[in-house]
Every structure is written in C-alpha cells, then in structure tokens.
Amino acid sequence: MRTQVAIIGGGPAGLLLGQLLHRYGIDNVIFERKDRDYILARIRAGVLEQGTVGLLDEVGVSARLHHDGLVHHGIELAFGGARHRIDMTKATGKTVTVYGQTEVTRDLMDARLAAGLTTVYNADNASLHDFDGDQPRVRYVKDGVSHEVTCDFIAGCDGFHGVSRQSVEPKVYERVYPFGWLGLLSETPPVSPELIYNNHERGFALCSMRSSHRSRYYLQCALDDHIDNWPDDKFWDELKRRLDPEAVDHLVTGPSIEKSIAPLRSFVAEPMRFGRLFLAGDAAHIVPPTGAKGLNLAASDVHYLSTALREFYADKSAAGIDDYSRRALSRVWKAERFSWWMTSMLHRFPGTDEFSARIQRAELSYLVESDAAKTSLSENYVGLPY
Ligand code: RFL
Ligand code: PHB
C-alpha cells in the first residue's frame, strides 16, 4: 500500500487531520490499534473552543454539533460557599460549545466513511521506519498478517501511550499531580446551565454536562483510589459536601452510566517534528483537564500540520513543515501554563498548609473582583488565537 500521509491513531487528532488533508486533496490512511466501538466508549472531553468548532465547520462535520451542542457564554467559580460568574463573552466576544468528545469522534468517523477514506482498525504492532529519509514506511499486523505501507509523511496522532513518541527521543518536560479525577456520567439534568468549578477544603469538584438531560461530574480523589470505593450514593454525598448550598438544592442525582478515575499530568515533548514524522495531540503533550484544553490543543496542532502539508504539496514549499514544531509548541506551552494554573488554584494539594489555602482564596477573590483578571482567564478558556 502507498499513501501520501500515514496517520497513526484514529482518535480526534488523527480523524480531524484526515478530514483536513482530504479537503486539501492529500490522501491519507489511518492506522488504529483498537476498533471503532472501543474508541466511542471512551468518555473524555466536553468543552470545545470556538477555533475547534471552526475547524469542524471547515471540514463540514458540524451539523449535529450546531444542533445538539450547548453554546456557553460563561463559567462559574465557587469558593467559600458562594458562586461567582465569569462572563467570558463579555470579556472576549467569544463562546465555547459543550459537545462531548465521543460525539465529535463519531461525527468525524461517519464523515470519513462517507468520503470513502481508508481506516485500518485493529492494526497491531505498528512500527515506524525511515522517517529520516523521504520514503518513510509503516509496518503493522492485521489478523495475524504483516503489512507495509510507504508514504511521504507519518503523523503520530496515537495519544500519550502510542508508538510514535516512543520511536524518537524528544526532550520531555513533566509534572505529575498528587491526585486524580473521579468522573461520573448520569442521565440527569445539569445542576446549573453553566459549568461550576469548585474549590473546597475537601477537594476540587466540577459540575459539567453533555446535554440538557445528561450531566458529567468530577471529584478530586486520591491517586491510589479505585472506582470500587465509590458506589453512586457515596459519590453524590461527597459531591454535595463540596457544592454551594444553592447547587445542593438543585442537584438531581441518579444512577451512573459511566464512572472512571483519571490521573492528572502536565507533559510536553519537544520538538514535535523528527524528519518526516510529526507528533500531534496527546502523543506530544498532556494537560490536566482543569482548563478543558486537551482536545482543543489536538485540534490546533492538526490545523498547523494540515496547512503545512498543504503548503508542501500545493506550493512545493517546506517552510510550513519546517516551522510546524515551533508554531505548535508556542500555543501548547500557553495552554500548559493555563491548565497548570487552573489546577493549582482549584485543587487541594496533600501535605500543604493553611497558608496555601489562604493564597488560593486570595487568588480566587482577586479573580472575581478584577476585570483584568477575569479577561485573562476568559481569553485562555475560550482559546488563544491560532
Ligand atoms: P487519543 O484520544 O488518545 O487518541 C489516540 C488514538 O491512538 C490510538 N493508538 C494507536 N493506534 C495505532 N497504533 C498504536 N501503537 C497506537 N497507540 C494508540 C488509540 O487507540 C487512540 O484511539 O489522542 P488525541 O487524538 O490526541 O486526542 C486527545 C484527546 O483525547 C484528549 O486531549 C482529551 O480527551 C483531554 N480532555 C479534555 N480535553 C478538552 O479539550 N476539553 C475537556 O473538557 C477535556 N476533558 C480530557 C477531559 C481528558 C480526560 N481524561 C480521561 C484523560 C476530561 C478527562 C477526564
Ligand atoms: C467535561 O465535561 O468532561 C469537562 C469539562 C470541563 C473541564 C474538564 C472536563 O475542564
């Protein structure tokens, strides 16, 4: 088999890249280790920046998003038993859209199928070769049979545990946080029309949603905690302890549809280009979910990468691919900073003293009192320009 761009990984980064390249007339094949249903069972991100929505518009994959997605103009910060709204649209003129990553992925998969583009699911043992030269190759095994593909470029969109980053030796910057997030999805109306980020002495809590009848809640938990320790009743009781009184009054509880624990990590691999291999999305960087940036960074990476490849094929210029890593990393580090800052401000860090709690409280009250501080949070939350 031969293709122009071999994409490793069929998550949101790989799928969106595939659609953008297709739109620019560049053929591509996706090699994905799992199957379609496995990928669609993962519950992850919920908040899309306006830029991400714009890219989905550009590839014609946003009809359901505009129909079912919830456009949000603000978020709420809760601390000391009270809630404070940050009007992000007033501060920036922009909005975010609440629409689950699962649905974005489903829409992209459907579009890929409709366009007749090839995705090889259950592609085992992918290995990347010769990306230092101009004829890279990808080998993989499917149904026990080995295959080899030649291509012009390889896009490593295979997430944090993928093979692409493991095939090179980037410099790595990392911070692992001493807690995780326990998430619960339920078929219940959201407690409030906008997201509520709660700083509480028992630990952080987040009230989010997927639709007017489906809610997503998160609790800060210990790193070594396990979902077996969290029957639904215990989850709801703990959530109520961390919410403000008005939220407790409005909270509708119900059986969980999904429950999972995720560790929190900041991670950047530099550079994001190695010859004809490019890293994009979680393959190159991880943010803690507090800033809602992971999926959105995957989208901005593939925007830079697809325009660079278009320039290569259409204009016979390597300027874009030579500049890919610098452009992507410049935006990545700003989102890393924002996600680290939101995480630091909102969580309880084990072993820290009352001083740290007071500093957090001062930071939060400054934030809700200062227009300058609100604008700074808002422009990062809605997404910095590409
Ligand atoms: P993915 O989604 O991990 O997809 C990578 C794909 O590559 C496949 N793969 C391989 N394929 C072939 N060969 C191999 N050797 C392979 N190894 C792996 C995998 O099977 C998979 O299908 O990475 P991608 O595409 O870069 O997308 C990144 C996003 O998924 C991630 O950043 C977000 O989910 C992060 N995130 C959030 N991001 C936001 O923008 N807003 C949010 O509100 C938000 N909330 C979250 C989040 C992540 C969370 N968790 C669970 C980590 C909330 C949570 C709780
Ligand atoms: C979610 O709905 O899953 C979600 C929303 C906002 C975040 C993180 C996760 O910051």
Q: Residue 63 pLDDT > 90, yes or no?
A: yes
- What pLDDT was estimated at residue 45? 84
Ligand approaching nearest to the C-alpha of 293? 1
CB 138 within 8 A of CB 149: yes
- What pLDDT was estimated at residue 42? 86
Atom of ligand 2 nearest to the CA of 208: 2
Close Cβ partners of 139 (under 8 Å, ≥ 6 residues apart)? 125, 126, 127, 129, 146, 147, 148, 149
Q: Does the beta carbon of 128 sit less than 6 angstroms from any atom of ligand 1? A: no
Structurally, the chain folds into a number of domains equal to 2
- Cα of 290 to ligand 1 centre, how many Å? 15
pLDDT by residue (tens digit) across 168-182? 999 999 999 999 999
Q: Does the beta carbon of 196 sit less than 6 angstroms from any atom of ligand 2? A: no
pLDDT by residue (tens digit) across 22-62? 999 999 999 999 999 999 988 888 899 999 999 999 999 99
Which of 208, 260, 290, 381 to mutate for ligand 2's pocket (most ligand atoms within 8 Å of CB)? 208
- What pLDDT was estimated at residue 369? 97
**Which CATH number covers residue 289?**
3.50.50.60
Share of the chain above pLDDT 90, in %: 98
- Cα of 369 to ligand 1 centre, how many Å? 35
CB 386 within 8 A of CB 51: yes
- Where in the sequence is the domain holding 240, given as residue range(s)? 178-264+350-382
Burial class (CB in 10 A: 0-12, 13-18, 19+), 142: middle
Verify that 31 and 116 share a domain, yes or no: yes
- What pLDDT was estimated at residue 44? 85
Determine the angle formed by the axes of helices 50-58 and 294-315, rounding to 10 degrees.
Answer: 40
Verify that 48 and 130 share a domain, yes or no: yes
- What pLDDT was estimated at residue 110? 98
Tell me the catalytic residues: 72, 197, 289, 293, 381
Q: Is 361 helix (H, G, I), strand (E, B) or coil?
A: helix
User: Within a domain: residue 239?
Assistant: yes
User: Within a domain: residue 50?
Assistant: yes
Verify that 361 and 291 share a domain, yes or no: no
Handedness of CA 359, 360, 361, 365 (dihedral sign): positive
- Cα of 380 to ligand 2 centre, how many Å? 15
Q: Does the beta carbon of 289 sit less than 6 angstroms from any atom of ligand 2? A: yes
Verify that 371 and 235 share a domain, yes or no: yes
Atom of ligand 1 nearest to the CA of 15: 25
Q: Does the beta carbon of 102 sit less than 6 angstroms from any atom of ligand 2? A: no
User: Within a domain: residue 76?
Assistant: no
Q: What whole-number distance in Å separates Cα of residue 56 and Cα of residue 372?
A: 31
Average pLDDT, the chain: 97
Q: Judging by DSSP bridges, how do beta strands 2-8 and 28-31 pair with one another? A: parallel
Q: H or E element: which one contains 189?
A: none
User: Within a domain: residue 162?
Assistant: yes
Across 239-260, average pLDDT: 97
Q: What whole-number distance in Å separates Cα of residue 108 and Cα of residue 56?
A: 9
pLDDT by residue (tens digit) across 268-290? 999 999 999 999 999 999 999 99
Q: Does the beta carbon of 335 sit less than 6 angstroms from any atom of ligand 1? A: no
